Each structure stands twice: as structure tokens, then as C-alpha cells.
Amino acid sequence: MVNKDAMEPFTTAFANAWHLIWTADADLMGVLALSFQVTGLAVLVSCLIGFPLGAILGVGRFAGRSASLVAINALMGLPPVVVGLGLYLLLSRAGPLGVFGLLYTPTAMVIAQTVLVTPIVAALTAQVTEEMHREYRDLFATMGMGQVQQAATLLWDGRFALTTAALAGTGRAFAEVGAVMIVGGNIDHVTRVMTTTIALETSRGELALALGLGLILLVLSLAINAGVMGLRNMGMRLAHG
């Protein structure tokens, strides 16, 4: 039998969470806005680095390519807290980059997420471009295309698959908590994002905001996956009719 008294805090929390979302609570919106800013910028920088890097790894034939591919694949599973710790040491006052005063700023969080997302984007890009390159290799050779031109062509032709890579990175960045908590410090109205707020509010027993943000995170996750599927289908239609 369900204990109604025990369930009450949860139902109240859900109701309060829904109220926060429905009324566009200022704190909630602030946290959301910063999350989007940090993640958006991190994914953008990751794509700017990861797409060409992955394409070069996918197309290029050079010494150390296999080792680079193994390394980039291994980095996909980089533990966020280790990244956070490493960046903390680099960015802290006594660290080599301490002079820039970036610790506990959104910039530090962008850097942390970029470090985590770039290997994902680069590794997926390498996979996509390598597979396409097998198909296009002879054509490229007969056209006398250099490796940079080949990489550019593959990036354009694989754009829908690569958008999937970017969305996978976005999912990872949105859900990340360990690294941004360490380098951002979870400072109210400064470096507080969705995941760190959920962690903090849950530990304080304030479930409404945590639940509200959790619901939004879930919706975002669903939207990202739907976007991935939609883009894949659109890519198939455009490529093959």
C-alpha cells in the first residue's frame, strides 16, 4: 500500500517545480541561460577544433595516425572530475595559467566542457570521414585533390552525420557536472548551471528547483535525440533521394 504521507513531499516538489517552469522563475531562467551560454560556446569551440582534427585523422596518412586515433578514442571517456582537477591546478592562482584569473568564471567552465567534448566530436568525425574516404579515395586521386581539399569535401558531404557528432557533444556538455563544479565553483548567479544547481539543491533538500531543472534536462535530452534522428533522416533523403 502506498504511504500518502511519504509521497506528499514529492508531489509538492513536482507541483512547485512545474510552477517554477510555468512562471519562468528568474533564478531558473538565469541558470538555464548560463547553461546554454556555456554549453553552446563549448560545443562551438569543440566543433571548430574537432571537425578539422577528426577529418585530418580520418583522411591523413602520416606517422602516428593510429596512435592519435587510439588516444582520441580513449579521451572520449575522459573522467570529468579528473579534467576539472587538472584545469583547477592549471587555472588556480599558483598554477601556470593563474595569471589570467579564470578560475570560478564561466570561461573556465567553457574550457572544461571544451576539453570533454572535443575528443567526442573529433573521434566521431574521424570515424565518419574515414568511412567516406574509403569510398571516395580513388575519385579524389583522379581529381588530384590534396589532403586539405579532401578533408573539406568529406566534412561537407558528411555534414549530417557530423551534426550528430555535435549533438552528441552537446548532450555530454549539458549533462556534465564534475568538471564545471570544480572550475566554476557553483557560485550563485555567476557560475551556477543546471547540473550543479541540481546537485546543490538536492543536497540542501530543496527539491523543487532541482526537479524543475531535472525535467528541463530530460526534455533537452529528448529534443537532442529527436534532432539527431531527424537530421540523420534528412541527410539520407538529401544524399540518396
- Is residue 54 a contact partner of residue 122, using CB atoms and an 8 Å limit? yes
Asked if residue 187 binds other proteins (CB under 8 A), the reply is no
Residue 135 vs 188, nearer CB to other proteins: 135
The least CB distance from residue 148 to other proteins, in Å, is 12
DSSP state of 76: T
- Rounded Cα distance between 196 and 174, Å, is 11
Asked if residue 241 binds other proteins (CB under 8 A), the reply is yes
- Rounded Cα distance between 168 and 50, Å, is 13
Asked if residue 239 binds other proteins (CB under 8 A), the reply is yes
Asked if residue 74 binds other proteins (CB under 8 A), the reply is no
The least CB distance from residue 144 to other proteins, in Å, is 5
Asked if residue 238 binds other proteins (CB under 8 A), the reply is yes
Give residues 135-174 in contact with other proteins (rule: CB under 8 A).
135-136, 138-139, 141-145, 149, 153, 156-158
Residue 65 vs 159, nearer CB to other proteins: 159
- Rounded Cα distance between 237 and 214, Å, is 35
Please choose, out of 48-56, 162-170, 196-204, 231-239, the segment that lies near other proteins by the rule CB under 8 A: 231-239
- Rounded Cα distance between 211 and 14, Å, is 7
Please report, for residues 46, 76, 83, the alpha-carbon distance to residue 172 in angstroms, rounded to integers and kept in the order given: 12, 10, 14
Interaction mask 103-142, other proteins, x per CB under 8 A: --------------------------------xx-xx-xx
- Is residue 39 a contact partner of residue 170, using CB atoms and an 8 Å limit? yes
